[in-house]
Structure 1
Amino acid sequence: MKAAYTVFHARAGDHNDLAMPGAAAIGNALLGQTGIAPTTIGNFEPALNKGWREELEAAMPALRLMQDRLESVFAEGSASVAATSRCAVSLATLPVVIKHHPSACVVWFDAHADLNTPGSTTTGYLGGLVLAGAAGLWNSDLGAGLSLNSLILVGQRDLDPFEQELIEQFAIPHIRPTDDLPAALRQAISGRPIYIHLDCDVLEPGIVPTDYCHEGGLTLDDLLVCSQEIAEHRVVGIEIAEFQNAWDQSGGSVSPGPLLQAIDPILALFRSRT
């Protein structure tokens, strides 16, 4: 599969204004690697810092544009490589992925499970409701279709009781940072096509700038060995979320280069077809 490149450049539950330029930085780096300019979805708007309902309403026009973009990408037989700023963008992407690739598993790299519903969340953060929305446990108005049996969690270490109960109830594979990562991934993937979500907070704090920081995460070497294993399978897409372009609002820009190098085995699958 050849790849189509996309940058989501609108707010989607942002706590600050660093992930939109972070997504643009990833897009520029991919342009440098491939010579292909990514399609940009949405326009910069300052973060709202509101509850999930207000954030979803504000983001909805851009999220619908993102759905239209992925519909076109998959309909033409391409894979999707996207910088999606915040995890909440996956409310738009995942229903389209499952529509076009119903046999795919979703490998979700994240410090969190993002399996809360509006009724179970303790924070009201839109990004924490993503997988539950895509699975139809609540209605985001962006579609559903994700089976929890197709989900593979990697790196989660901040789980709410509601999420833990779902993981146990549906026997969702949960690969911890201390596990044998390639072997655990190989067993969980079980030969299926793969769609990857990479939230940068899956990494140990201090490696790349991101909004949430939880100790005990993956290293870049861990991410590299995961990418090498995943690249042995059929990959239908990858989305890179929560990369911030600076450590704080007043800081200098940080390159996404080391992050992209760690997932290069996956990205290389598509460069050879462009």
Structure 2
Amino acid sequence: MSDNPPLPPAVVTYQAPCGDHNDLAMTAAGTLGRALAERLGVPPQAVGVPAPVPDGTWEESLAAAGPDLAALAGRYRAVLGAGQRPYGALSRCAAALATLPVVAGKHPDAVVVWMDAHGDIHTPDTTGTGYLGGMALSGPLGWWDSGHGAGIGHGQAVLVGARDLDPAEAAAVGSGRIACLPPGPGLAGELAEWLDGRPVYLHLDCDVLEPGIVPTDYRVPGGLTLDGLHAVCRAVAAGSPIVGAEFAEYEGFDRATGRHVPPGELLDALSPLWTDM
């Protein structure tokens, strides 16, 4: 790891629409961001406000989100330009179309650790659903042109905890186009070994967790526990400089049970990412 002092943190909340429906996550991104900002002792920097999500194709969703995504990218550029380490609380994974290219521009040697039950590496040519979120990582990888940039090179991204890959995504993994480390008891150590001390920007979709732990829109069995998430974050932070992180799809309210789930335990699990080791 670097002997340089850690960068001071900045918390950015993104509550605007960004692709598919998710009214709860738009609101809850603000809740998560404010709770994290309080822990870090910094004011949250808000981008966008909750709004109805228009129906339509991924092209229409991307166009509708365009101004807010541009504002998010601008805020990230300001944070990184000020020598700070961004922590994003995002409504949807597709907001990464704006954040990751900016991070790659500032930290070209950083590796994106994409923690998600899904791959999100479809392109307009392979998507079967037309869902913008399913192309959230492939845009920054340069596999298609989102209009918001790219910059993540080959070997500088890894899928972690993915267990619901469509055939085209599985083919990309099988061909070595992108690495994938599925859930398992040795995941933390495997990831640390794969990273080999390189700087990390970590993206979390809450559906990487076992369903029922944190409310989120998608439920894919076989996910991580909070202890497992903490172990991964601890292993990453112990071996690699953390240049930032972002957390998406937290809803805070379980529609099925009517249960409110505050973000405290989730933030506890993620805490190694800002508690420098």
Instruction: Tell me which interval the TM-score lies in, with the shorter structure as reference length.
Output: over 0.9
The counterpart of 2:249, out of the listed 242, 245, 261, is 242
What's the secondary structure of 1:28's corresponding residue?
A: helix
Q: Distance in 2 between matches of 1:264 and 1:108?
A: 17
Say whether the 8 Å CA contact 2:211–2:223 is kept in structure 1. yes
Give the equivalent residue in structure 1 for 2:206. 200
Q: Distance in 1 between matches of 2:74 and 2:202?
A: 19
Moved over 4 A (4+): none
Residues 140-149 or 97-106, more deviating? 140-149
Give the equivalent residue in structure 2 for 1:258. 265
Give the equivalent residue in structure 2 for 1:165. 171
CA shift in 2, pair 1:175/1:250, >3 Å:
closer
Once the two structures are aligned, what percentage of the paired residues are identical? Answer: 45
Residues 9-18 or 163-172, more deviating? 163-172
Q: Which runs of 5+ in 1 are unaligned?
A: none
Q: Distance in 2 between matches of 1:36 and 1:15?
A: 30
Give the equivalent residue in structure 2 for 1:189. 195
What code does the residue aligned with 2:48 have?
G
Q: Does 1:59 align with 2:65?
A: yes
Q: Distance in 2 between matches of 1:19 and 1:267?
A: 23
Q: Distance in 1 between matches of 2:71 and 2:16?
A: 11
Give the equivalent residue in structure 2 for 1:211. 217
What code does the residue aligned with 1:201 have?
D
Give the equivalent residue in structure 2 for 1:72. 78
How far did 1:61 drift? 0.4
How far did 1:27 drift? 1.4
Map of 1:1-274 to 2, 5 A cutoff?
1-170=7-176, 172-232=178-238, 233-248=240-255, 251=258, 253-269=260-276
How far did 1:187 drift? 1.4
Say whether the 8 Å CA contact 1:149–1:170 is kept in structure 2. no
Say whether the 8 Å CA contact 1:111–1:158 is kept in structure 2. yes
CA shift in 2, pair 1:25/1:249, >3 Å:
farther
Q: Cα deviations across residues 171-212 of structure 1 (Å, max 9, x unaligned)?
A: 533111115022101111111000000000000000001011
What TM-score does the superposition give when structure 2 sets the normalisation length? 0.93
How far did 1:114 drift? 0.5
How far did 1:156 drift? 0.4
Residues 175-184 or 62-71, more deviating? 175-184
Say whether the 8 Å CA contact 2:9–2:42 is kept in structure 1. no
What code does the residue aligned with 2:196 have?
S
Q: Cα deviations across residues 120-170 of structure 1 (Å, max 9, x unaligned)?
A: 111111010011111121111001111231011111011011111211223
CA shift in 2, pair 1:206/1:53, >3 Å:
same
Q: Distance in 1 between matches of 2:202 and 2:215?
A: 20
Q: Distance in 1 between matches of 2:48 and 2:259?
A: 24
How far did 1:72 drift? 1.0
Q: Which runs of 5+ in 2 are unaligned?
A: 1-6
Residues 110-119 or 12-21, more deviating? 12-21
Q: Distance in 2 between matches of 1:14 and 1:222?
A: 28
What TM-score does the superposition give when structure 1 sets the normalisation length? 0.94
Report the number of matched residues. 270
**What's the RMSD between the two structures over aligned residues?**
1.6
Q: Distance in 2 between matches of 1:119 and 1:171?
A: 16
CA shift in 2, pair 1:203/1:49, >3 Å:
farther
How far did 1:51 drift? 2.4
What's the secondary structure of 1:133's corresponding residue?
A: coil
